[in-house]
């Protein structure tokens, strides 16, 4: 297969790195295969990107929300027109990422919707609040923060970017996007379509390993806000580095989502499929995947049997193959972490069941594959339970009362998402209100049931601030009060 040569985007130009250097991107299903090369941008490129974003900010921030919405609607249209080549981009994406063509196709197709959704906020953003009680007239309006650094991880790069890029732009900020180095090719290709619509410098995009970039994206005084999605450790480092110039920082970090299956849950085929999907989609490499499954003891055997039978239908293999339901893990580091957690569970005497069908044994042996893995008889203090596995392995544990289930779900430093499974809507809501999480789903879990109009983010060490929704856009804006003596402004 041909190797794709990607560009970075700086000041409206899709181009190689200034040094001309590139880095190879490999296929996790066949690790020796090079899928393509991305420009190895370094500090020089970063400086140029910040210069471009700072210059473009003057014009872009002066536009009204309606004028910016026009650009965003055009981006959405262009991404819609680009559906003709979406299959080709999805193949590239699957080869560099590992996840299935269905997943990469869905991710690429939905990006335009996110631009249209943010553009639809123009009226709300253009509406100021007026206070006209003597002795003052005051207009409360909102200002863009300035140049924004947007950093995304490798697992769902464009969906995650779709929750911050359109919102940052809609708010009047200009941006530097930092894509993850593990699989940047299809995202760089797709963002070229976006860049063609926007004025030069409004969106700049790079994708090198962090070691190449220096600290400018986190420390340059012209960067006023950072919106990061990734691991807790890197999120904390970013918060510390950005402190000297007092940037606002939004952090979307890891999760260890609990799903609580109550004693009256309807465990029909669709519900089980939804639980399995919520656990193993993208081989579990989703921040809002089910990572701990707690089941009322009276339904434990039934759930375990049905869940195991459904997961056993999943076909594990190269995501390019049509009948494959789960690809490999994205990279060697993640693969080794997941294998270590499974080995630790075994050492502790837990019961480990590896299920699912292997499409092709030779490919399975070659790539970073792990079948859907179900772990039972495991203690709460095992790393698989308290740490974030970010892979296709899930502990399933019993509880006796709703009270105990709530305590178990909340007994973690994480607080991203959670779910409650029951036929009683009042009981579902009452349990949900007591769960420490940014999002709680009822009888569903994960990206397939996430309402893109609702704010998304975590509590505790799962993050600070929100993306998506009007709350996400407001995170890129600062209130500005304009005040005069009474009778002067209104």
> Does residue 332 sit in helix, strand or coil?
helix
In the numeric block, the tokens 């639809």 are attached to 120
Handedness of CA 89, 319, 101, 272 (dihedral sign): negative
Name the residue nearer to ligand NAD (CB basis): 162 or 463: 463
Query: HSE on the CB side for 244, CA within 13 Å?
Result: 10
Name the residue nearer to ligand NAD (CB basis): 144 or 254: 254
Name the residue nearer to ligand NAD (CB basis): 265 or 287: 287
Q: Are 160 and 152 in contact (CB under 8 A)?
A: yes
Instruction: Locate 16 and state its tokens.
Output: 């190689």
139 DSSP β-pair partners:
130, 482
Q: How many residues does the chain have?
A: 490
Distance CA 300, CA 297 (A): 5
Least distance to ligand NAD, CB of residue 169, Å = 19
Least distance to ligand NAD, CB of residue 438, Å = 8
Instruction: Please list the active-site residues.
Output: 252, 287
Least distance to ligand NAD, CB of residue 38, Å = 12
Name the residue nearer to ligand NAD (CB basis): 210 or 444: 210
Distance CA 429, CA 425 (A): 6
Least distance to ligand NAD, CB of residue 476, Å = 16
Name the residue nearer to ligand NAD (CB basis): 178 or 371: 178
Q: Are 253 and 231 in contact (CB under 8 A)?
A: yes
Sheet harboring 203-206: ordered strands across?
13-15, 8-10, 203-206, 174-178, 147-151, 223-229, 248-252, 463-464
Least distance to ligand NAD, CB of residue 237, Å = 6
> Strand 30-39 and strand 22-27: pairing?
antiparallel
Q: Are 154 and 182 in contact (CB under 8 A)?
A: yes
Q: Are 469 and 125 in contact (CB under 8 A)?
A: no
Q: Are 279 and 394 in contact (CB under 8 A)?
A: yes
Least distance to ligand NAD, CB of residue 397, Å = 21
Instruction: Locate 154 and state its tokens.
Output: 């490798």
Query: In this chain, which residue has its C-beta nearest to ligand NAD?
Result: 230
> Does residue 98 sit in helix, strand or coil?
coil
Name the residue nearer to ligand NAD (CB basis): 152 or 295: 152
Least distance to ligand NAD, CB of residue 32, Å = 22
Give the interface with ligand NAD as residue ranges (CB under 6 A). Answer: 151-155, 160, 178, 180-181, 210, 217-218, 229-231, 234, 237, 252-255, 287, 388, 390, 416, 458, 463
Q: Are 174 and 202 in contact (CB under 8 A)?
A: yes
Name the residue nearer to ligand NAD (CB basis): 6 or 355: 6
């Amino acid at each position: 297969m041909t190797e794709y040569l990607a560009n970075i985007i700086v000041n409206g130009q899709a181009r190689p790195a200034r040094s001309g250097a590139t880095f190879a991107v490999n296929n996790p299903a066949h690790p020796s295969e090079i899928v393509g090369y991305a420009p190895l941008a370094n500090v020089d490129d970063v400086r140029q990107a910040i210069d471009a974003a700072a210059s473009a900010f003057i014009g872009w921030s002066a536009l009204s929300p309606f004028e910016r919405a026009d650009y965003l609607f055009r981006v959405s249209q262009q991404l819609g027109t680009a559906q003709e080549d979406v299959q080709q981009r999805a193949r590239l994406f699957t080869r560099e990422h590992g996840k299935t063509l269905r997943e990469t196709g869905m991710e690429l197709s939905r990006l335009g919707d996110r631009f249209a959704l943010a553009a639809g906020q123009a009226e709300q953003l253009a509406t100021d609040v007026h206070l006209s009680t003597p002795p003052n007239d005051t207009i409360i309006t909102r200002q863009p923060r300035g140049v924004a650094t947007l950093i995304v991880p490798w697992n769902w790069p464009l969906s995650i970017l779709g929750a911050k890029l359109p919102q940052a732009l809609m708010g009047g900020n200009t941006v530097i996007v930092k894509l993850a180095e593990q699989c940047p090719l299809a995202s760089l290709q797709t963002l070229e379509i976006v860049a063609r619509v926007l004025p030069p410098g409004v969106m700049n995009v790079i994708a090198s390993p962090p070691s190449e970039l220096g600290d400018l994206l986190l420390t340059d005084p012209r960067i006023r806000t950072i919106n990061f999605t990734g691991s807790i450790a890197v999120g904390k480092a970013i918060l510390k580095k950005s402190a000297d110039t007092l940037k606002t920082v939004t952090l979307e970090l890891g999760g260890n989502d609990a799903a609580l299956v109550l004693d009256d849950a309807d465990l029909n085929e669709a519900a089980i499929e939804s639980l399995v999907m919520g656990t193993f989609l993208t081989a579990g490499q989703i921040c809002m995947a089910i990572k701990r499954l707690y089941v009322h003891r009276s339904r434990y055997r039934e759930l375990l049997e049905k869940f195991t039978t459904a997961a056993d239908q999943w076909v594990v293999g190269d995501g390019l193959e049509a009948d494959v339901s789960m690809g490999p893990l994205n990279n060697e580091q993640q693969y080794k972490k997941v294998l270590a957690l499974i080995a630790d569970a075994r050492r502790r005497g837990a019961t480990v069941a590896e299920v699912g069908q292997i499409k092709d044994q030779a490919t399975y042996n070659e790539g970073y594959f792990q079948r859907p893995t179900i772990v039972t008889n495991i203690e709460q203090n095992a790393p698989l339970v308290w740490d974030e596995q970010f892979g296709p392995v899930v502990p399933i544990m019993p509880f006796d009362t709703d009270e105990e289930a709530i305590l178990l779900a909340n007994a973690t430093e994480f607080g991203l998402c959670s779910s409650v499974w029951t036929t009683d809507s009042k009981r579902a809501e009452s349990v949900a209100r007591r769960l420490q999480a940014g999002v709680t789903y009822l009888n569903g879990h994960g990206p397939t049931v996430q309402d893109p109009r609702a704010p998304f983010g975590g509590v505790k060490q799962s993050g600070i601030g929100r993306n998506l929704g009007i709350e996400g856009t407001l995170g890129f804006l600062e209130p500005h009060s304009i005040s005069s003596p009474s009778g002067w402004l209104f």
